[in-house]
Amino acid sequence: MKTLLPTSTAGSLPKPSWLAQPETLWSPWKLQDDGLIEGKQDALRLALDDQQQAGIDIVSDGEQTRQHFVTTFIEHLDGVDFETRKTVRIRDRYDASVPTVIGAVTRPKPVFVKDARFLRQQTDRPIKWALPGPMTMIDTLYDDHYKSREKLAFEFAKILNEEARELEAVGVDIIQFDEPAFNVFFDEVNDWGVAALERAIEGLTCETAVHICYGYGIKANTDWKKTLGSEWRQYEEAFPKLQTSNIDIISLECHNSHVPMDLIELIRGKKVMVGAIDVANEQIETPQEVADTLRKALQFVDADKLYPSTNCGMAPLPRHVARGKLKALSAGAEIVRREISA
């Protein structure tokens, strides 16, 4: 990346109200059939336009073609029955009715490759594509086939690797795996979680990232955050293993969180996407607030490895708020860029 402090988002952006109910997760589509395909592409172009107008350097599809960051990928796989549902505890935090793994999981055809090719055609900027991580995938399912979280995670890692290789082939520059589960299941992260992630990136030559956060600004997450005390040290558990892994970039929640910034020292040498925008409130940060967060992070990340970003996806926010936050991110990064080059 030639730009100093290249900006990006963690992933999702709000969808237009003609495509899906705004400010809602899992919102059903308002269009059908060919109209839906066209509507998703139009929304992708608008999401891209919002990012480009705000001056975001590494752009994405804003996840306009998916209903949910994990479920939409799984819906395209064989071996998972969406009719047979069981209630499980997701990320040890809230109960949800989830689909069941009933046989060997496979990917009969590419999931997002067409969408990624479409995005590639729309822009010359570097593009980042998000996929769910293996551990987060298994955590949203009931497994009635493999009966082993580790085994199922490696099966998903194999499938994710197939998808990632095809995304790379159509010109994706950074492939990101979303692993909020890495902030919860520390023993598993160290036993096999990071290894499964490395299986997912095997053989890739594009850059790879892992996004680890404290979740969208939904009630289950904000209630959970209240129980975490004044210092959130969860990252401390996974960082040593990630530091020695093959993953290039680590995407983190930093702004307004209680994560002690010095934990980033534990991944020294990695590129770090520093979340400088809070996605859990509608207040738009000032460029100065963004700059403050980036300056703090610069104590622990070399400037050429710091990628200003958002704490998490912005799907549940009103569109004008998300646009404002994109602009603040861009302007805040520019302040720090000038300070560094002065």
Q: Which residues sit at the interface with Zn ion, rule CB under 5 A?
A: 213, 312
Q: Closest separation between CB of residue 276 and Zn ion, Å?
A: 14
- The residue among 138 and 312 lying less far from Zn ion, judged by its C-beta, is 312
- The residue among 245 and 257 lying less far from Zn ion, judged by its C-beta, is 257
In 3D space, the residue among 247, 248, 133, 149 whose CA is nearest the CA of residue 198 turns out to be 247
In 3D space, the residue among 306, 238, 234 whose CA is nearest the CA of residue 270 turns out to be 306
**Contact of 60 with 51, CB cutoff 8 Å:** yes
- The residue among 105 and 274 lying less far from Zn ion, judged by its C-beta, is 274
CA distance 48 to 101: 35
**Contact of 154 with 148, CB cutoff 8 Å:** no
In 3D space, the residue among 74, 68, 66, 70 whose CA is nearest the CA of residue 100 turns out to be 74
Q: Closest separation between CB of residue 10 and Zn ion, Å?
A: 5
Q: Closest separation between CB of residue 180 and Zn ion, Å?
A: 6
- The residue among 127 and 213 lying less far from Zn ion, judged by its C-beta, is 213
Using a 10 angstrom Cβ sphere, with 0-12 exposed, 13-18 middle and 19 or more buried, the burial of residue 262 is: exposed
- The residue among 143 and 278 lying less far from Zn ion, judged by its C-beta, is 278
**Contact of 110 with 160, CB cutoff 8 Å:** no
- The residue among 101 and 254 lying less far from Zn ion, judged by its C-beta, is 254
In 3D space, the residue among 275, 264, 115 whose CA is nearest the CA of residue 211 turns out to be 275
CA distance 206 to 219: 36
Q: Closest separation between CB of residue 58 and Zn ion, Å?
A: 16
Q: Closest separation between CB of residue 311 and Zn ion, Å?
A: 7
CA distance 307 to 317: 22
Q: Closest separation between CB of residue 275 and Zn ion, Å?
A: 8
